[in-house]
Amino acid sequence: MKGNFEKGFFFQYAPQILGIRAMSDNRYEVKLEVQQSGITFKIMNLIVAFDGLNRPYFIDQFGENLTEFDAVRKETLTFLYSKKVAKNDSLEQKMVHFNQKLATLFNISPKSTSVIVLKNLKDYCDVIGYDYMTFLTHDVQTGGIALPEEQILFSANNSPYYPHELVHIYTADHDPHYWFDEGCATYLGGSVEYPLEHHLKKVAAQMDSLDFSELPKDQKLDDETSLKYSLGGLFCKLAMEEFGGRVSLLILLNSGKTEENFHAALKAVFGIEQKDYDAFVKEKLRKYKG
């Protein structure tokens, strides 16, 4: 319901109840639309019931749907499979190993996480009760998201293996600028099923026409690759492999959230200032070109 919308968004673009349908058991299905300037962002179904004192409350339809999922427990991970996804023992094991690898890197015990395994984005919408979200119009119909506070990740990828989102479960213990958060997840876990190097090669191929002096200004190269994920990943890779190792990576992951924090972290780890960004990044990208 809230999504990523600031409160002010709803002052300007009031959500609308399209209709309310009476169901059985004194329940009601509310169809709610959120739009901006006539463009629909999402249409969701909320289920409301009444208690014995005639007080309304929401039914947790996702939780109800989850009871139909098949659960597989492996060490500290619990995989909850949609009926549309076949179980995959080897990919579960691969995820468990990756979880252990992250625990070692971050020097903590392996995180206990529930991995909600879904066929695709449509399956994700069906399970949480959404009729429409804008991503349903994208060419790529897979994705994922991590909810670190709840220790849950959604793998809408037809697979129990989604390393990128699992990294976010660990980076949430720190205070990274979002470039370093996504960068670390891409460095360690890839993005849209491709490793960091795949994305860096695409950025490098276009770097002569790109200006990196305005970072952290983001730019999407296509549906798969953006500067935020790619160069964020490059910074994390360089920190880990060339500029001090784990200590430097943690400096990036404890950078703070602001743009000033972003610049300060790059200065601390790489000794560069904004005027240096374009030359520094292009020099480091050169090995990925051609």
Partner 1 sequence: MKPLLFFSVSLLFIPLLSCQEKTPDIQTSTPSETRKIYVERSSLFDNYSDQKLQVADFVELYFNLMYDSTLEDRNALWDSKILTHQ
* 46 versus 272: smaller Cβ distance to partner 1: 46
Give min distance, CB of 118 to partner 1, in A.
Answer: 10
Give min distance, CB of 172 to partner 1, in A.
Answer: 13
Give whole-number Cα distances, 119 to 4, 59, 74, 212, 286, in Å.
24, 24, 20, 37, 38
Phi-psi region of 176 (alpha: psi -120 to 50; beta: other; left: phi over 0): beta
The half-sphere exposure of 109 on its side-chain side, counting CA atoms within 13 A, is 5
* 4 versus 107: smaller Cβ distance to partner 1: 4
> Which pairing describes strands 27-36 and 16-22: parallel, antiparallel, or unpaired?
antiparallel
Tell me the C-alpha distance between 249 and 180, whole Å: 9
Tell me the C-alpha distance between 43 and 285, whole Å: 42
* 92 versus 181: smaller Cβ distance to partner 1: 181
Quick one: which H or E segment has residue 240? helix 227-241
> Is the CB of residue 168 less than 8 Å from the CB of residue 152?
no
> Is the CB of residue 143 less than 8 Å from the CB of residue 156?
yes
* 87 versus 138: smaller Cβ distance to partner 1: 138
Give min distance, CB of 279 to partner 1, in A.
Answer: 27
Pick the closest to residue 151 from 175, 116, 100 (CA basis). 116
* 106 versus 179: smaller Cβ distance to partner 1: 179
Give min distance, CB of 276 to partner 1, in A.
Answer: 26
Give min distance, CB of 253 to partner 1, in A.
Answer: 17
* 224 versus 278: smaller Cβ distance to partner 1: 224
Give min distance, CB of 85 to partner 1, in A.
Answer: 16
What sign results for the dihedral spanned by CA atoms 143, 148, 149, 150?
positive
Radius of gyration of the chain (CA): 21
Tell me the C-alpha distance between 106 and 123, whole Å: 33
Give min distance, CB of 90 to partner 1, in A.
Answer: 24
* 42 versus 284: smaller Cβ distance to partner 1: 42
